[in-house]
Copies of this chain bind each other. A is one copy, B any other.
Amino acid sequence: MSTIRTAETSSRLRCIVCGATPGSAGQDFRCTTCGDLLEFFFPGWTSNQDPPAFDPAALKSLWLNRRTSLDALDQSGVWRFRELLPHIPNPEEHVITLGEGNTPLYRLPRCARATGVKNLRAKHQGMNPTASFKDTGMTVAASSAHQGGFRWVACASTGNTSASMAAYAARGNMRSLVLIPDGKISWGKLSQSLDYGALTCQLRTDFDGCVRILNELVRQKPVYLLNSVNPYRIEGQKTAAIELMEQLAWEPPDHIIVPGGNLGNSSAIGKALLEMRELKLISRLPKLSIIQAHGANPFYRSVREFGGKKLEPMTADTLATAIRIGNPASWKKALRVLQATGGEVEEVTEVEIAAAKAEIGADGIGCEPASAVTLAGLKKLRRSGFVKPGEAVVLILTGHTLKDPDFTVKFHRGDLFTGTSGEIEGAPAKYLQRAPVVLDADLGAVIAALDAAERNSKC
User: A267-298: which residues lie under 8 A (CB-CB) from chain B?
Assistant: none
Q: Is A195 an interface residue (CB 8 A)?
A: yes
Q: Mark A343-359, 1 if CB is under 8 A from B, else 0.
A: 00000000000000110
B361 and A195 within 8 A (CB):
yes
Q: Is the CB of A197 within 8 A of B366?
A: no
- B364 lies within 8 A of A187 (CB): no
Q: Is the CB of A217 within 8 A of B364?
A: no
Check A434–B198 contact: CB distance below 8 A: yes
Task: Report Cα–Cα, A190/B434, bound state, in Å.
Answer: 11
How far is B251's CA from A351's CA once the two chains are assembled, in angstroms? 53
Give the chain B neighbours of A166 by CB distance below 8 A.
364
Instruction: Give complex CA distance A223, B64 in Å.
Output: 42
With a 10 A CB-CB cut-off, give which of A152, A191, A247 has the most chain B CB atoms.
Answer: A191
Q: Which of B104, B200, B412, B454 contacts A437 (CB 8 A)?
A: B200
Interface bits A188-213 vs B (CB < 8 Å: 1, else 0)? 10111011111111111100011001
* Residue A50, interface by CB 8 Å: no
In the complex, A221→B70 CA distance in Å?
A: 48
Q: Is A171 an interface residue (CB 8 A)?
A: yes
A58 part of interface (Cβ distance < 8 Å): no
Q: How far is the CA of A204 from the CA of B439 in the complex (A)?
A: 6
What residues of B have a CB within 8 angstroms of the CB of A201 in the complex?
A: 436-439, 446, 449
A237 at the interface (CB under 8 A from B): no
Q: Is the CB of B129 within 8 A of A170?
A: no
Q: Which residue of B lies closest to A109 (CB)?
A: B173
| Residues on B with beta carbons closer than 8 Å to the beta carbon of A195 | 357-358, 361, 366, 401, 408, 412
Give Cα A365 to B195, complex, Å. Answer: 8
Please, what's the 1-or-0 string for A422-459, where 1 marks a CB less than 8 Å from any CB in chain B?
Answer: 00000000010011111111110011011001100100
Looking at A26-34, A175-183, A320-328, the stretch in contact with chain B turns out to be: A175-183
Choice from B68, B205, B220, B434 contacting A200 with Cβ under 8 Å: B434
Tell me the complex Cα distance, A175–B431, Å.
12
Chain B residues, Cβ within 8 Å of A403: 402
A255 to chain B, nearest CB (A): 21
Q: What residues on B are CB-neighbors of A192 within 8 Å?
A: 366, 401-402, 405, 408
Interface residue A363 (Cβ < 8 Å from any Cβ of B): yes
Contact of A450 among B177, B182, B358, B408 (CB under 8 A): B177
CA distance A365 to B223 in the complex (A): 23
> Residue among A75, A223, A436 with the most chain B CB within 10 A?
A436
Query: Given A68-B67, A202-B438, A434-B194 in contact, is the A213-B454 Cβ separation under 8 Å?
Result: no
Residues of A bordering B, CB below 8 Å:
64-65, 67-68, 70, 75, 98-99, 102, 104, 106, 109, 127, 129-131, 151-152, 166-173, 175, 177, 179-180, 182, 185, 187-188, 190-192, 194-205, 209-210, 213, 216-217, 220-221, 223, 247, 249, 357-358, 361-366, 400-403, 405-406, 408-409, 412, 431, 434-443, 446-447, 449-450, 453-454, 457
Q: List 22 A-B contacts (CB under 8 A).
A: A65-B68, A70-B249, A75-B104, A98-B364, A131-B131, A170-B361, A171-B364, A175-B457, A177-B446, A177-B450, A180-B436, A188-B405, A194-B412, A195-B361, A195-B366, A195-B408, A196-B362, A200-B435, A202-B437, A203-B440, A203-B441, A203-B446
Besides the known contacts A191-B409, A198-B434, A201-B438, 19 further A-B residue pairs in the complex with CB atoms under 8 A apart: A70-B249, A130-B366, A131-B400, A166-B364, A170-B361, A171-B363, A175-B454, A180-B436, A185-B436, A191-B406, A192-B408, A194-B435, A195-B357, A195-B401, A196-B364, A202-B436, A217-B443, A221-B447, A402-B402
